[in-house]
Amino acid sequence: MATVNSKEQLVNSKKIKSFVDLNAWKVSHDLVLEIYKASTKLPKSELFGLVSQIRRAASSITANIAEGWGRYHFADKVRFYYQSRGSNAEVQNFLILSKDLGYLSEKYFSILWTKP
């Protein structure tokens, strides 16, 4: 009987109870934090342009995962997860732009680009 309880405890400890338990949210949250750090390296002249846009796009990734988690209907969940995917592509675009404008080094760009 003790073995069953141990297995049940193991299974229950791995249950997803909130959006913060989702691996996609965890990985994306790390990316958001890195994007915020990286955006401090951009010129002050970009504060209301590129800095604002990349930060909003990055935070939108995790926000849409959270909102999808909170939706009841499967179709709603999927729609928000797709929105999150689109926001991720938007961040990729802004990273390329930042690199091409010389705001991010090739090395730093590569680190951010390969973030899981």
Instruction: Output the domain CATH number for residue 93.
Output: 1.20.1440.60
Q: Which two tokens stand for residue 62?
A: 């995790």
Residue that the structure tokens 């997860």 belong to: 81
What is the reported pTM?
0.82
Q: 98 in a domain, yes or no? A: yes
Side-chain-side CA neighbours of 103 within 13 Å: the count stands at: 18
Q: 4 in a domain, yes or no? A: no
Q: What residue spans of 14-73 are helical by DSSP H?
A: 23-39, 52-70
pLDDT in tens, 42-86: 999 988 889 999 999 999 999 999 999 999 999 999 999 999 999
Which domain, by its residues, includes 22?
A: 18-113
Residue 3 has a pLDDT of: 44
* Confidence band of 4 (pLDDT split at 50, 70, 90): very low
Residue 79 has a pLDDT of: 95
Q: 2 in a domain, yes or no? A: no
Residue 9 has a pLDDT of: 44
